[in-house]
Structure 1
Amino acid sequence: MTFPVTLPRISWGDPRAARRALLVHGLGSTAALMWRYGVALAEDGWRADAVDLRGHGVAPRVLDYTIPAYAADLVGIRPEQGDGTWDLVIGHSLGGAATTLAAADDPEWTRRVILIDPAVHLSDHDREVVRRSQEEAFADPTEAAVREAHPQWHPHDIELKALAARQASRWAVEQTSLQNPAWDVRAALARLDVDVDVLAADPKVYSIFDGPLATEVLAANDRVRMTVVTGAGHSPHRDKPEQTVAELRRVLRDERTMGS
């Protein structure tokens, strides 16, 4: 039986800020690894909260790691002030899938969604890429290993990615794949009635949101738009942080979502 758990959160920005954002990390990651978004939003006058997903970081361990279970936890996370609705939710990868379900299940949960190379639908190839990546992370959860694989990353990201692998439940990460044999939230994304921007990775590097999948998703909901972060892999905020933050700020300035 699916039931929600209370997720720990960390925050950036003034607690009295008028605009509130929630940041949701990907598989095998943590709240702290969303720091680029937290810093950028705080600099722009937002209050940003990030959560550790179930089985990750210091969040509760459970038996259910289905996407609906991840989403149920998110629906229970609300801004500490205001009307109880997030002005923005940013979800990366698995966090993008869970964010999509949460926003579809509760129309009052958020006014706006930004998905970072979201795991909307995983092919067998993508599943294998994810499986190998997680195996490598757990096999050597050291900063040296992360630095060797990603020498261009900021020292914060190297440190925090290694820590995330040590903190996460390996069983939870494995079960997230096993318990979601039909990894597919396309129908939920198609029915979202809020503005959605996808910041996708560059297919020339590696992306899980491109090609026919992206074309299908964009055609199914005219409130969904897409931008490719050139030269970035699956984690644009770590691979191309300045460019990713610039794209984030650009879409947030758009009158389509911010009003006149």
Structure 2
Amino acid sequence: MTTVPSASQWGSPTANKRALLIHGLNSSSHTFHRVASALAAKEYLVVAPNLLGHALRNTGVDFKVQTLADDLLPYLQAAEYDIVIGHSVGALVVLSLLKYLPKIKPTSVVLIDPSLEITAEQMVNGRVRFSTDVRTNPTVEDYIALNPLWTREDAIWRVLGTQIGRSTNSDDHIDGNVPWSFSHLIADKPAATALTILVGEPSKLESIAKFKEVRTVLFSNASHWLQHEFPEVIVEEALRNIQE
């Protein structure tokens, strides 16, 4: 019997359509609660695993993105998914899983604001930015004040995701993935897989532009947390690839 890591689930277990959602650093499966609920309303069984080192899960043998991906392989061995969505580092995990997706069955893959390539200088800045939530410990009210498009539930899950993960997650994963370079993994995409990248930061477009087979959508006046701000657009983009 295949054993799968801890996860949150939405929708009916008997649903014929399935979606796999993978969260990012200092977060948890419930960062996708609005996207997951919307997909469940469209008769999808939605599964969102918790990554190693997050949501009270211990770490693996190292902090490589590929290790996070390998930990989730039981999900792909247990079922086939119509939709796979990843946010931030979770999007890089999805890229690391592309080679395991079905070669014939169409799969809609959506990556939410991934950093595919980061220079050494950017990694130094990222270390500060990524670990800010852990150091400053913002409250629910802080997040709501800073992010007017977030719901209270978004802010609650953001706080919990930070507090129930490892305090050194950001630094460990930055140090464990040097050089930070993942765009080459797009070449592992099966022909039957449609790939869309949603971008909240324009600077990330440069590393994506050369991939003509990838649909790219840039959001104006958006943050890194598109699943909180534009969950309905994420669902629309995921379904677009299925419907086409």
How many percent identity over aligned positions?
A: 23
- Counterparts of residues 225-236 of structure 1 (less than 5 Å): 225-236=215-226
Number of residue pairs matched by the alignment: 237
**Counterpart selection for 2:32 from 34, 38, 42:** 34
Q: Kindly indicate whether residue 99 of structure 2 is the aligned counterpart of residue 100 of structure 1.
A: no
What is the TM-score with the length of structure 2 in the denominator? 0.87
The alpha-carbon deviation at position 157 of structure 1 amounts to 1.2
Q: Is the 8 A contact 2:201 2:223 kept in 1?
A: yes
Q: Which has the higher contact order (CA 8 A, sep 6+)?
A: 2
Q: Per the alignment, do residues 162 and 91 of structure 1 end up closer, same or farther by CA in structure 2, a change over 3 Å counting?
A: same
TM-score (norm 1): 0.82
- Partner SS state of residue 20, structure 2: strand
1:60–1:154 distance in 2 versus 1, CA, 3 Å: same
Match of 2:208 in 1: 214
Counterpart selection for 2:174 from 174, 177, 188: 177
Give yes or no for the alignment of 1:91 onto 2:86. Answer: yes
Between 119-128 and 229-238, the greater mean CA deviation after superposition: 119-128
How do 1:240-251 and structure 2 match up within 5 A?
240-241=229-230, 244-251=231-238
Secondary structure of the structure 1 residue equivalent to 2:72: helix
- Cα distance change of structure 1 residues 172 and 155 upon mapping to structure 2, 3 Å threshold: same
Residues 196 and 18 of structure 1: is their aligned pair in 2 closer, same or farther, counting only changes over 3 Å? same
In structure 2, the CA distance between the partners of 1:250 and 1:71, relative to structure 1 (3 Å rule), is closer
Between 1:84-93 and 1:121-130, the stretch displaced more is: 121-130
Partner amino acid, structure 2, of 1:136: T
| Inter-partner Cα distance in structure 2 for 1:235 and 1:164 | 13
The structure-2 alpha-carbon separation of the partners of 1:71 and 1:18, relative to structure 1 and needing over 3 Å to count, comes to same
Instruction: Determine which of 163, 170, 175 is the counterpart of 2:160.
Output: 163
CA contact (8 A) 2:35 2:234 kept: no
SS at match of 2:62: coil
The aligned residue for residue 54 of structure 2 is: 56
Match of 1:147 among 139, 144, 156: 144
Deviations 1:145-170 (A, max 9, x none): 43343344210111111111111102
Aligned equivalents of 1:53, 1:85: Cα separation in 2:
19
Q: Where do 5+ consecutive residues of structure 1 fail to align? A: none
Structure 2 residue ranges without an equivalent (≥5)? none
Match of residue 132 from structure 1:
128
Distance in 1 (CA, whole Å) between partners of 2:238 and 2:83 is 12
Q: Secondary structure at the match of 1:253?
A: helix
Following TM superposition, by how much is the alpha carbon of 1:24 offset from its aligned partner in structure 2, in angstroms? Answer: 0.3
Q: In the TM superposition, what is the alpha-carbon distance from 1:171 to its structure 2 partner?
A: 2.4
Distance in 2, Cα, partners of 1:129 & 1:149: 21
